[in-house]
Amino acid sequence: MQAHNVFMKLKAAQWFAVALFATSVLMVEAAYTGPGSNVGSTTVSAILKQPQDDMRVVLKGKLVRKVKHETYMFSDGTGEILADIDDKDFPAQPVDAKTKVEIMGEVDVDRRSGVEIDVKSLRIIGQ
């Protein structure tokens, strides 16, 4: 009987570990973007017309070229803007100038360097 109880406790501990791991993975990827989230889908053109520092945005388009390490030119068809993307934020799949992506981040307004997007996440949405 004791062996059965030990086995059941181990099984419960394994399920708990799996559930904890699955939840932590989802928490890394998940972000609320519904009403009140202060994240707006917008266009590059709108951002460049009225840039607001630290405004959270979601943009869909393409990385048209690499400017320098971790800095890319992003275009959504309405204009182009610099996107600061950490290497670690790229997906496992390759991304080129034809890959359609969605970037989520914050507008960064600097008097010296201008307006750019500090990208927090990047995902491929089509080719």
pTM of the predicted model as reported, rounded to 2 decimal places: 0.69
Please state the CATH superfamily assignment of the domain spanning residues 39-126 in this structure.
Bacterial OB-fold (2.40.50.200)
Mean pLDDT, range 57-85, rounded to an integer: 97
Q: pLDDT tens digit string along 32-67?
A: 555 555 556 789 999 999 999 999 999 999 999 999
Closest CA to 63 of 4, 119, 3: 119
| Cα 124 from chain centroid (whole Å) | 10
Q: Please provide the size of the chain in residues.
A: 127
